[in-house]
Amino acid sequence: MPLGLLGKKLGHTRVYDANGVMTPVTVVLAGPNRVLQVKTQAGKDGYNAVQLGFDDQKEQRLTKPLLGHIKKQNGVAVKRIREFRDFSKDVKPGDIVGPTLFAPGDYVDAIGVTKGRGFEGVVARHAFAGGDSTHGAKGWHRRSGAIGQRLFPGTVMRGMKMPGHLGQVQRTAQNLEVVQVREADNVILIRGSFPGAEGSYVVIRESKKRPKGWKPPVAAVGKKDNKKTAADKKPAAAKK
């Protein structure tokens, strides 16, 4: 992951472009991220990486080993720490990075933890159809049905889809477009949605799989450069 940020999912809203086209976006608080440590291939760590910290925390709420590690790097106590390998931006401990790492038109991957749903049945957990609602199928509307076999093998097969815990797992949403970057608010607006409840921590990184046909954003050409003067429009013979 060449570039990445720790952030917090604030919620969802919509934005409009100059033509009045509405775009649903997810608002992510993506800063400030503090550089806690820079690891190098030539150093004792043996690989290139950058440790980022997000969301300030009281020192007494951290373990002594973690607080000692942060103090050794002359950093401040934070709630979340994440290491990004092969960070393409040149930084040093103590620097602050934010949403300006990305620009409108970039594509990112959002990593979050899905909402916990508790103990769920097979209809909610595995999208089973359930039993008939008619024809005397009393009490079998949301059940899974038979789970075993006959005499052989006479046991429940491993991996059988059954009721159990749903949610609270890490998931990645890929190829999400950055719509706006608001440096003053440390906020990134990302098209669409991705896993995580409002207020949960997320990781925003450069997209690993570019969408088909994607091209880097091109800077807009100025009006003076784009327009031809009256002298340029005349034929070459007239200019002489």
| pLDDT, position 152 | 86
Task: Give the model confidence (pLDDT) of 70-120 as tens digits.
Answer: 998 888 899 999 999 999 889 999 899 999 999 998 999 999 999 999 999
| pLDDT, position 174 | 94
Is CATH 1.10.630.10 the classification given to domain 4-116+171-239?
A: no
User: What tokens appear for 201 in the block?
Assistant: 């921590």
Each residue's pLDDT, cut to its tens digit, for the chain (240 residues) gives 589 999 999 999 999 998 999 999 999 999 899 999 999 999 888 999 999 999 999 999 999 999 999 998 888 899 999 999 999 889 999 899 999 999 998 999 999 999 999 999 999 999 999 888 888 888 888 999 888 888 888 889 999 999 999 999 999 999 999 999 999 999 999 999 999 999 999 999 999 887 766 776 665 555 555 555 555 555 555 554
How far is 11 from 13, CA to CA, in rounded Å?
7
pTM (2 decimals)?
Answer: 0.78
Where does the chain hold its CATH 2.40.30.10 domain(s)?
A: 4-116+171-239
